[in-house]
Amino acid sequence: MKLLKLLPILLLGISALGFTTQKTPSWQTLFNGKDLKEWDTYLAPDYDDSGKPLTGIPIGLNNDPKKVFTVIKQGEENIIRISGESWGAISTKKEYENYHLQLQFKWGNLKWGQKKNSNKDSGLLYHSVGKYGADYGSWMRSQEFQIDEGNCGDYWGVAGGAADIPAIKEGKNYTYRPEGKLISFREDSQIGRFCKKMSDAERPSGEWNTVDLYCYGDTSVHVMNGKVMMVLYRNKQIDDGNESPLRKGKIQIQSEGAEVYYKGIKIQQITSLPATLLK
């Protein structure tokens, strides 16, 4: 009997034994390509060029008078434009856990306020929980996958976010190294809440970059253009010196003084981290 004729019989036998064929989880699109109705916006108080608040009153939730967050047409596709003029973020309405998130971004030309003479800056904030504006009046507690010219993939703990990362000290900062000592990066320690990525994979300004973020359990992996930037263990949050897990939350994308474009934002559930990421 030919193999093609045997195949349905073999599959039937496997099913009868209680085994099923594994399917690749489907992608869920987080940007509908039309508008930002699936996201909330939050904007901080306006700041002067030195970074001091002008009024101390936040622009607030889903109030965007300057059109910091818009959807524009570029070429044949609609993309998200973040002007950077005010500090804040767009955030998903839902929380996510155990996922692979992918998006593309590229830099625009404009810079504002205290960032006029600095690198263009944005950021992907994940496991976002708690109140809006908890960090610098702008962002929820979260873990940051840094998106910043020349520094894409760095880690910042935001408003009490913390993680253990294998790292070595290089100059004033610590840099991720798989063979390094596991160090707790947290705001209330001498080491602080910042760890540099292992290497650089960002494309020239104006070109699209692909960001992949993997989160499973209390571990997360930052990947830029297919290259692992760092692996974070024991994602957690700190309250009055006490630790608790930080494994799920909303996703925020920052406005932080620079014009930036995003597209292709999608997410899929995972049941483990790909082994190739942890080598």
pLDDT, tens digit, for every residue of 241-260?
999 999 999 999 999 999 99
The CA–CA distances, whole Å, from 61 to 66, 113, 139, 199, 245 equal: 14, 22, 11, 36, 27
- Given this model, what pLDDT does residue 12 score? 44
SS3 for the chain is CCHHHHHHHHHHHHHHCCCCCCCCCCCEECCCCCCCCCEEEEECCCECCCCCECCCCCCEECCCCCCCEEEEEECCEEEEEECCCCCEEEEECCCEECEEEEEEEEEEEEECHHHCCCCCEEEEEEEEECCCCCECCCECEEEEEEEECCCCCCEEEECCEEEEEEEEEECCEEEECCCCEEEEEECCCCCECEEECCCCCCCCCCCCEEEEEEEECCEEEEEECCEEEEEEEEEEEEECCEEEECCEEEEEEEECCEEEEEEEEEEEECCCCCHHHHC
Buried b (16+ CB within 10 A) or exposed e, 76-90: eebbbbbbbbbbbbb
The residue that leads in pLDDT, 25 or 212, is: 212
pLDDT at 22: 53
Share of the chain above pLDDT 90, in %: 88
pLDDT tens readout for residues 17-62: 444 445 667 999 999 999 999 999 999 999 999 988 888 899 999 9
What's the pLDDT band for 68 if we cut at 50, 70, 90? very high
- Band (pLDDT 50/70/90 cuts) for residue 7 is very low
Q: What would the mean pLDDT of 218-235 be, rounded to a whole number?
A: 98
Mean pLDDT along residues 230-238: 98
pLDDT in tens, 166-184: 999 999 999 999 999 999 9
What does the pLDDT look like over 125-140, one tens digit per residue?
Answer: 999 999 999 999 999 9
Residues 6+ apart with CB under 8 A from 148: 119, 120, 121, 122, 123, 154
Tokens of 85: 């003029």
Residue 117 has pLDDT above 90, yes or no: yes
CA separation, residue 92 to residues 79, 83, 191, 194, 261 (Å): 16, 19, 31, 25, 17
pLDDT beyond 90 at 6: no
Where do the structural domains in the chain lie, given as residue ranges? 26-268
- Residue range 101-121: mean pLDDT, rounded: 96
Q: Give the CA distances from residue 161 to residues 26, 99, 187, 231, 235, in Å, rounded to whole numbers and listed in that order.
A: 29, 19, 8, 15, 8
pLDDT at 89 over 90: yes
Q: What is the mean pLDDT of residues 83-92?
A: 98
Mean per-residue pLDDT for 219-226? 98
- Please tell me the predicted confidence (pLDDT) of residue 260: 98
At the top level of CATH, the class of 26-268 is mainly beta
